Amino acid sequence: DPVQDKRALLDFVKKLPHSRSLNWNVTSPVCHYWTGITCSDDESRVIAVRLPGVGFHGPIPANTLSRLTGLQILSLRSNRITGDFPSDFSNLSNLSYLYLQFNNFSGPLPSNFSVWKNLTFVNLSNNGFNGSIPFSLSNMTELTGLNLANNSLSGEIPDLQMPKLQILNLSNNNLSGSLPKSLQRFPSSSFLGNNISFESSSPNNPPVPPTLLVSNDKPKNSKGLREAALLGIIIAGGLLGLLAFGFLILVCFSRRKSKDDEYSGDRQKGRMSPEKVISRTQDANNRLVFFEGCHYAFDLEDLLRASAEVLGKGTFGTAYKAILEDATTVVVKRLKDVNAGKRDFEQQMEIVGGIRHENVVELKAYYYSKDEKLMVYDFFSQGSVSAMLHGKRGEEKTPLDWDSRLRIAVGAARGIARVHAENGGKLVHGNVKSSNIFLNSRQYGCVSDLGLATITSSLAPPISRAAGYRAPEVTDTRKATQASDVFSFGVVLLELLTGKSPIHATGGEEIVHLVRWVHSVVREEWTAEVFDVELMRYPNIEEEMVEMLQIALSCVTRIPDQRPKMSEIVTMIESVRPMEAENRRSSTTRSESSMPPPPPPPPQAVVTENSTSQ
Ligand SMILES: Nc1ncnc2c1ncn2[C@@H]1O[C@H](COP(=O)(O)OP(=O)(O)OP(=O)(O)O)[C@@H](O)[C@H]1O
């Protein structure tokens, strides 16, 4: 045990109240058992302390953490720590990664950053720091990321010469003056919510358009440490055959593990914690890439440590609900059969992640490595429209009245129309179906899982729910188009109208295709028989349902060219219920504040909570 460090940590945790208990037992070995602690290879020093969301409250006690002079990573984010930035942190001269965001720190920033020569990433956002931005930051030659957003910093921004800086966020402070030349290469979003003039931007050096915020808190020199640890584990455990990254990440995601488990038994038994595994395949270029405006404060390692459950396996991969240590809940989609190279994959992610629309589920982050491709979304606690209509295994259906279904239809249509307008009007959703439609905070449909058809080679098997949405021509061409999206959307409309799955079994062995079934019933002039019996109890809606049925049937026309365009479908659906047109928002932003107030909740709908839990 690193005895001195252990004592410092015990002093720290004894003096700083916290609401979640830690398994920091005096008698247990720090390096092998204590939550949130990583030691150096030879176990002589503590090199990382990661304690996000432990419920720490109060100021950091002096002369505690500052004794961990070997510390490289310190993460105390998402706690309720108060007081000034600890002045004795100047002793932590090896610090490379500092995460203190989402706390209640106040007072000035440290005046002398030069004491941390190795500092690579600093996130002090979402606190109450005030005063000016210290010029000493200019000495931070290794700094690649600096986030000071959402504080109360004031004064002018100094001319900071930080050649390696890639990420800068100074938004939402009280900064003023003009933007120094050295920082003009950053997007204007880095400085939003201040009183800064951009006048001096020269036409030869225009501000870089908003791009991605990249989180990469893998310490520079930790690779060696980790690989050495890894080697030890391999030799000790003799478990070489089990070291396939995919397998372990699966274990990581699919097993609900208690934290204690994670930190204690596994390592002693010779198994690796997933973070050890990722370092094998992760090189400096592979990292979790967050999209701009994403408020999440976690990194890949946090994600891999999260407890998780499988939500389901789809055409393009498996979706997991992951609960991070600070209780943030996200959905991680693990893609399979990706046939795009890194650059094409990233390009597609940038297109998809750049869409901000209230009817399109935001892609929050993605990860690409040779072995793993991940996409991260908000978790929709109400579940998908598919689950609402048909119920999941062992779960009740959510009764959806006609008004709710109209909102789902018009919302999803607007979302897909927005997708089709993207990338010069060329983007294809490629996976329109009710399990990819969720409800936004106004209970309107919101489409997810888009843009994957062009980067994967997966195709749903012919007898599967997913295949029931597929336009006939796609079976031959294997190429999704905007017209095939329209077909799939038509199937969703039929689902909403009939309450039936796109492919369902009748009493016997027979498999019924919804489109064919609806056609056959309508042909026999039994139109009323088509509609979901659950809708029959609502008076005066038959006319609207018939109009909607006509729209649906125009979408599922066999000849692709004869199908309406998505933007036309939006107008058609809006005309079914004229009052709906008033709610139309052509905005491309997702700003809740500019939205009209939500409609009153439908009387039959049992959905009451917000659509996303964050
Ligand atoms: N963000 C989310 N919040 C809540 N549930 C989700 C989310 N994303 C996906 N799901 C659910 O997880 C399950 C699996 O999703 P996934 O997208 O992997 O498969 P799918 O939609 O069934 O098929 P496909 O991959 O063909 O789209 C589905 O039931 C889906 O509704």
Cβ atoms of residues 124 and 153 within 8 Å:
no
Say how many Å lie between the CA of residue 332 and the centre of ligand 1.
10
Residues forming beta bridges with residue 168, ordered by sequence position: 146
Q: 609: pLDDT confidence band, cut at 50, 70 and 90? A: very low
Mutate to test the pocket of ligand 1, among 381, 436, 492 (most ligand atoms within 8 A of CB): 436
More confident residue, 300 or 153: 153
Handedness of CA 500, 610, 288, 427 (dihedral sign): positive
Out of 10-19, 101-110, 182-191, 234-243, pick the least confident: 234-243
Amino acid in the structure at residue 293: G
Say how many Å lie between the CA of residue 15 and the centre of ligand 1.
45
CA distances from 372 to 224, 277, 346 (A): 22, 12, 13
For residue 377, give the ligand 1 atom closest to its CA: 1
Amino acid in the structure at residue 452: L
For residue 466, give the ligand 1 atom closest to its CA: 26
pLDDT for res 156: 93
Cβ atoms of residues 102 and 297 within 8 Å:
yes
Cβ atoms of residues 298 and 324 within 8 Å:
yes
Q: Of all protein residues, whose CA lies closest to atom 13 belonging to ligand 1? A: 312
- Structure tokens, 14: 């004894």
For 212-328, strand residue ranges (E) read 212-214, 289-291, 307-313, 317-323
Say how many Å lie between the CA of residue 442 and the centre of ligand 1.
21
Q: Of all protein residues, whose CA lies closest to atom 12 belonging to ligand 1? A: 311
pTM of the complete model beyond 0.80: no
Cβ atoms of residues 301 and 275 within 8 Å:
yes
Say yes or no to pLDDT of 321 above 60.
Answer: yes
Cβ atoms of residues 64 and 15 within 8 Å:
yes
Out of 44-48, 234-238, 465-469, 585-589, pick the least confident: 234-238
More confident residue, 382 or 580: 382
For residue 436, give the ligand 1 atom closest to its CA: 21
Helices (H), 426-582: 472-477, 482-498, 514-523, 527-530, 542-555, 566-576, 578-582
Top-confidence range, 172-181, 239-248, 258-267: 172-181
Q: 140: pLDDT confidence band, cut at 50, 70 and 90? A: confident
CA distances from 111 to 135, 356, 400, 610 (A): 8, 38, 58, 43
More confident residue, 318 or 224: 318
Q: 464: pLDDT confidence band, cut at 50, 70 and 90? A: low
Say how many Å lie between the CA of residue 314 and the centre of ligand 1.
7
Across residues 576-598, what is the average pLDDT? 40
Mutate to test the pocket of ligand 1, among 337, 352, 380, 384 (most ligand atoms within 8 A of CB): 384
Q: Of all protein residues, whose CA lies closest to atom 19 belonging to ligand 1? A: 314
Q: 295: pLDDT confidence band, cut at 50, 70 and 90? A: low
pLDDT for res 264: 29
pLDDT for res 507: 61
pLDDT digits (tens, 9 = 90+) for 418-457: 999 998 999 999 999 999 999 999 999 999 999 888 888 7
Mutate to test the pocket of ligand 1, among 253, 309, 311, 449 (most ligand atoms within 8 A of CB): 311
Say how many Å lie between the CA of residue 435 and the centre of ligand 1.
6
Compute the half-sphere exposure of residue 404: CA atoms within 13 Å on the CB side of its CA: 24
Mutate to test the pocket of ligand 1, among 296, 335, 435 (most ligand atoms within 8 A of CB): 435
Say yes or no to pLDDT of 371 above 50.
Answer: yes
Cβ atoms of residues 354 and 290 within 8 Å:
no
Cβ atoms of residues 259 and 325 within 8 Å:
yes
| Binding region for ATP | 333
Q: Of all protein residues, whose CA lies closest to atom 4 belonging to ligand 1? A: 380
More confident residue, 583 or 232: 583
Say yes or no to pLDDT of 366 above 60.
Answer: yes
Say how many Å lie between the CA of residue 319 and the centre of ligand 1.
6
Say yes or no to pLDDT of 600 above 80.
Answer: no
Q: Of all protein residues, whose CA lies closest to atom 21 belonging to ligand 1? A: 435
Angle, nearest 10°, between helix axes 566-576 and 402-425? 160
Say how many Å lie between the CA of residue 316 and the centre of ligand 1.
10
Phi/psi at 249 (nearest 5 deg)?
-65, -35
pLDDT digits (tens, 9 = 90+) for 508-565: 666 788 999 898 887 766 667 788 988 888 877 887 888 899 899 999 999 999 999 9
Q: For the chain, give the mean pLDDT.
A: 77
Angle, nearest 10°, between helix axes 542-555 and 566-576? 170
Across residues 370-391, what is the average pLDDT? 90
Q: 61: pLDDT confidence band, cut at 50, 70 and 90? A: very high
Across residues 327-344, what is the average pLDDT? 87
pLDDT digits (tens, 9 = 90+) for 215-250: 333 333 332 223 222 222 222 222 222 222 333 344
Say how many Å lie between the CA of residue 465 and the centre of ligand 1.
13
Q: Of all protein residues, whose CA lies closest to atom 30 belonging to ligand 1? A: 435
Q: 590: pLDDT confidence band, cut at 50, 70 and 90? A: very low
pLDDT for res 241: 25
Work out whether strand 128-131 and strand 152-156 pair parallel, antiparallel, or are unpaired. Answer: parallel
Which ipTM was obtained for this model? 0.96
Could you write out the DSSP letters of every residue in 157-174?
PP----TT--EEE--SSE
pLDDT digits (tens, 9 = 90+) for 82-117: 999 999 999 999 999 898 988 999 999 999 998 998
Say how many Å lie between the CA of residue 436 and the centre of ligand 1.
6
pLDDT for res 475: 80
pLDDT for res 271: 28
Out of 130-139, 476-485, 529-538, 595-604, pick the least confident: 595-604
Helices and strands (H and E) in the chain: how many: 18, 26
Top-confidence range, 214-223, 250-259, 365-374: 365-374
pLDDT for res 199: 61
For residue 431, give the ligand 1 atom closest to its CA: 27
Out of 347-356, 383-392, 506-515, pick the least confident: 506-515
Cβ atoms of residues 447 and 416 within 8 Å:
yes
Say how many Å lie between the CA of residue 311 and the centre of ligand 1.
7
Q: Of all protein residues, whose CA lies closest to atom 9 belonging to ligand 1? A: 319
Q: Of all protein residues, whose CA lies closest to atom 14 belonging to ligand 1? A: 312
| C-alpha 406: how far from chain center | 28
Residue with tokens 């809940």: 329
Q: Which residues line ligand 1 (CB under 6 A)?
A: 311-312, 314-319, 331, 333, 377-380, 384, 431, 435-436, 448-449, 466
For residue 386, give the ligand 1 atom closest to its CA: 31
Across residues 573-579, what is the average pLDDT? 75
Say yes or no to pLDDT of 120 above 70.
Answer: yes
pLDDT for res 431: 92
The Cα 124–Cα 102 span in angstroms is: 8
More confident residue, 467 or 151: 151
